[in-house]
Structure 1
Amino acid sequence: MKKSGILLLSFCFLLLMSCAKKEEVNPTSEPDIEVPTSPVTVEPGGDYVIKGSNFSETETYIVKFNEVKAEIVKIAKTELTVAIPEGITSGDITLEHNGKVKTVGSYTVSTEPKIETLASTATLKSGEDFTITGSNFIETETYSVAFNGVKAEIVSITKTELKVKVPSNITSGDITLEHDGKVFTVGSFKVASSSVYIFQYDSDVRKLAEINLETGELSYITESIDFGFNTRGIVYNKVNDEFIGFDFENYQKPFIIRIKPDGTTSGKVYIKDTFLNSGTGNFDDLVVDDNGKVYIFQYDSNVKKLAEINLETGDLTYITNSIDYGTNTRGMVYSKARNEFIGFDFDSNSKPFVIKIKPDGTTSEKVYIKDAFLSSGTGNFDDLVIDNNGKVYIFQYDSNVKKLAEINVDTGDLTYITGSIDYGTNTRGMVFSEINNEFIGFDFDTNFKAFFVRIKPDGTTSEKVYIKGTGGNFSDLVIREVQ
């Protein structure tokens, strides 16, 4: 009996030892790799997936691309994902596990860029930078970028961006990138353009003309039209891509005309008699808002209201009550930033002020220009203008000033942005170009020769550029910008 117990204990001990030895020598199963039958093309910085089975998150794997170690991104049972390292050359992909190294494929390095195409048509102007985004751009590679066939200068190359300079003399079309004989279409573009116009109303001309801002030459866009005797301004309506002008027939009957950029001109649309006194009326300060609605200020003694003009019928819709404005105005502008109209006028004591009018007709109190900027309580001002940031400016042409000034429309303070310049004697308006970031003003010198000047927001002012050709009656400076 004692002998049997000893035998049983010996058997149990051997059984335990056997089990322990089994667990000790049972190695973890090696992954079974699916090896590609031909070299794959890889892009440094991208991911590469090794497919197979029996991968385990608890195991350690080392993957190399031609001896360059890759970072493990993710491990699943059937996939091992790694980040393809930078700076590699073509060669083999190896996987090391438990000291064993296997070749799991071969590869070549792709030099072809991946392009992110534009979601919509880009608006561009010559001289600005344009960035093509994507991946796998390489500084040592050669790329050719063209804008509708016009080759661009390469500015810089990073892995994810290719920056070029938009060339001159381009027309709207496609942006293309060529690499190793392969052409990619990046997207389409249109050209941002800024054109400044003036109406010439000499008896033998009477045409709207585009001004060449470099040379002073005029390009007439209309035939001779019955407009220009006693105008109240021309505005550009970007919504309908047309100019709208306000004038009086025989100095009496007010009307509007509409002019397309190709010169097509509408018939006169007369302001309805319902809104006039004895067939005429006093109007000033033609202005257009950001939605293409056109307004005029009527300053008859019994009206004195801002009115929206129905361009089809000549009806007026007054948006304000009667207000103390309109006696001697210097223009009205619309501020998109503040969603309001700003007008500049002088009161009965010749004191200059601004008012602000909301589209619902809410009108501010007068904000007077501070006495510190005036001579004997008054001053000479013209050419109210607004920039793309909603800043409002006026030109002060007192003999001891002659400067362009930004108006604080809440306090009446002026901040002069130019030195004293030879401008302001007999102006025909000033406009602001968002595309070129400059003001353009039109005036006549002491010999009645027409010229314009260009002023940057930092105050830098060009020389006078004189208008070429004959004739000398001009009015209604206006700008058309497409972007």
Structure 2
Amino acid sequence: MKHFFSILALFILISCSSDDSEDNQDQKTIIQSVLPSLSASSTNIGETITINGQNFNPNIACTIKFNGTNGQITQITSNTISVTVPVGATSGQIELTTNGVTLNVGYITVNGTNRLFAYKQWGTIVELNPVTGAETKTLVYGTGSNYLKDLGYFAPTNEIIAQGVGNTSKLFKVKLTDKTVKEITFAGYDQLIITSTKLYGYKSYEGIIELNPNTGSEIGNLINTGNTSGDYLYGLIYNDATNEIIGEKYGNDKNVNLVNKICKIKLFDNSVIESTYSGYDELIPASNGKLYAYRGLKRIVELNPATGAENKTLKNISDPHISNFTYFPQTNQLIGKKNIYNNGIVTSKFLKLNLTDNSLSENNILKDDYDYLIVTN
């Protein structure tokens, strides 16, 4: 369906050359374009929107980008430009470029879409195009904390939340709506775990405790996860499908054999369940209800979320230096990065595993060796 927006007239100059001009200078043609009103600026992937205006020239090539992703122009008339919202489009600015001139046409909300952000070590958070991995905008440049870790998206407040590590521990929060940053001194934890509605902290050899997402203060009672040498939890993630915090323990059994265990903290009753399993470098929860895992130099697999057993191998992986996997619902892909080292120079590739056909692509180069990839939902 087409969305027609109320308009505000906006003028841009488009240069046209004229061989017949006496002084051979460019003539200027004034084209009226339009600005969609924010009160009605929403659409869906695959739908067609129309930019209304005057004096558009169907014979002059133009591009329209949705927050950095190219749309497919289906028709240009003297008064309208029709464009299909592409896969990978996210909420943000629409840009019209023609004859070397770019105009911000307005902001549009793409319904049901996810956004992709990345954190550069020592202070910058940027938004990435989820199709190409290219940086589209800087969200935060520099933070008060020396280093951020455990970055994730907290939907109830539409914020990226992290833990700032420096002389003092801080709860770091940046609002996606206006880019405001707040840093609150708090106790500090071995890891923050962000669920769909709550925030938790992990204390090593003690357990999991709920935190107030506004102040960082502790709420309620500690969920005990063990206090012996083999009870340290690694790689904690939240699985929304089962409402569990999941992590990994490893230690030696009575025969001094290394044993990996999957540890699941059920948040509906605070019970803790452990069972032996294969062990992985990364656990990757997905909003499609499935649980994936990556084991370095071996494979990406789908796990049974109840037992941790392997359901199937999705892709065999022999390359080293692959990390930062996360699930991107809009395209049903696992995305991550692959580093290639050559004479001390690092090249980072944008890695995408299509879960529909298990095809793996690494065609796009990332601008930086990002420490975290963060997906909104």
- TM bracket (short chain): 0.5 to 0.7
Distance 1:263 1:329, change over 3 A: farther
The answer to whether the Cα contact below 8 Å between 2:150 and 2:163 also exists between their aligned partners in 1 is yes
CA distance in structure 2 between the aligned counterparts of 1:212 and 1:190, rounded to whole angstroms: 14
Aligned to 2:200: 295
> RMSD across aligned C-alpha pairs, in angstroms?
3.6
> What is the CA distance between 1:225 and its match in structure 2?
1.2
Aligned to 1:211: 128
The answer to whether the Cα contact below 8 Å between 1:234 and 1:245 also exists between their aligned partners in 2 is yes
CA distance in structure 1 between the aligned counterparts of 2:181 and 2:128, rounded to whole angstroms: 22
The answer to whether the Cα contact below 8 Å between 2:189 and 2:201 also exists between their aligned partners in 1 is no
Pairing 1:242-391 to 2, within 5 Å after superposition: 242-250=159-167, 253-262=168-177, 264-272=179-187, 282-284=189-191, 286-291=192-197, 293-299=198-204, 301=205, 304-317=206-219, 319-324=221-226, 327=232, 329-335=234-240, 337-348=241-252, 350-370=258-278, 381-391=280-290
Pairing 1:146-225 to 2, within 5 Å after superposition: 146=49, 167-168=85-86, 190-202=110-122, 206-218=123-135, 219-225=137-143
CA distance in structure 2 between the aligned counterparts of 1:412 and 1:258, rounded to whole angstroms: 33
Q: Percent identity?
A: 17
> What is the CA distance between 1:306 and its match in structure 2?
0.9
The answer to whether the Cα contact below 8 Å between 1:330 and 1:345 also exists between their aligned partners in 2 is no
Aligned to 1:88: none
User: Of the candidates 421, 431, 437, which is equivalent to residue 326 of structure 2?
Assistant: 431
Aligned to 1:478: 374
> 1:454 aligned to 2:361?
no
Pairing 1:50-89 to 2, within 5 Å after superposition: none
Aligned to 2:65: none
Residue 239 of structure 1 aligns to a residue whose secondary structure is helix
> What is the CA distance between 1:327 and its match in structure 2?
2.2
CA distance in structure 1 between the aligned counterparts of 2:90 and 2:138, rounded to whole angstroms: 23
Larger radius of gyration between Structure 1 and Structure 2: 1
Distance 1:433 1:344, change over 3 A: same
CA deviations 1:445-482 (Å, max 9, x no partner) are: 344322221112242111253212xx64x32221124x
The answer to whether the Cα contact below 8 Å between 1:248 and 1:254 also exists between their aligned partners in 2 is yes
Distance 1:297 1:123, change over 3 A: farther
The answer to whether the Cα contact below 8 Å between 1:298 and 1:326 also exists between their aligned partners in 2 is no
Distance 1:123 1:393, change over 3 A: farther
> What is the CA distance between 1:334 and its match in structure 2?
2.9
The answer to whether the Cα contact below 8 Å between 1:442 and 1:451 also exists between their aligned partners in 2 is yes
CA distance in structure 1 between the aligned counterparts of 2:166 and 2:91, rounded to whole angstroms: 40
Distance 1:282 1:290, change over 3 A: closer
TM-score (norm 1): 0.52
CA distance in structure 2 between the aligned counterparts of 1:170 and 1:364, rounded to whole angstroms: 38
Residue 296 of structure 1 aligns to a residue whose secondary structure is strand
TM-score (norm 2): 0.64
CA deviations 1:70-106 (Å, max 9, x no partner) are: xxxxxxxxxxxxxxxxxxxxxxxxxxxxxxxxxxxxx
Aligned to 1:419: 315
> What is the CA distance between 1:342 and its match in structure 2?
2.2
Distance 1:345 1:213, change over 3 A: same
> What is the CA distance between 1:442 and its match in structure 2?
2.6
CA distance in structure 1 between the aligned counterparts of 2:363 and 2:259, rounded to whole angstroms: 31
Which amino acid in the other structure matches residue 156 of structure 2?
Answer: V
Aligned to 1:442: 337
> What is the CA distance between 1:331 and its match in structure 2?
2.8
The answer to whether the Cα contact below 8 Å between 1:396 and 1:424 also exists between their aligned partners in 2 is no
Which amino acid in the other structure matches residue 199 of structure 1?
Answer: Y
CA deviations 1:295-339 (Å, max 9, x no partner) are: 12111x4xx21111213322112554321386251231232x322
The answer to whether the Cα contact below 8 Å between 2:90 and 2:113 also exists between their aligned partners in 1 is no
Distance 1:316 1:442, change over 3 A: farther
> What is the CA distance between 1:191 and its match in structure 2?
3.4
Distance 1:422 1:124, change over 3 A: farther
CA distance in structure 1 between the aligned counterparts of 2:234 and 2:211, rounded to whole angstroms: 19
The answer to whether the Cα contact below 8 Å between 1:244 and 1:258 also exists between their aligned partners in 2 is yes
Distance 1:417 1:306, change over 3 A: same
Residue 246 of structure 1 aligns to a residue whose secondary structure is strand
Larger strand proportion of the pair? 2
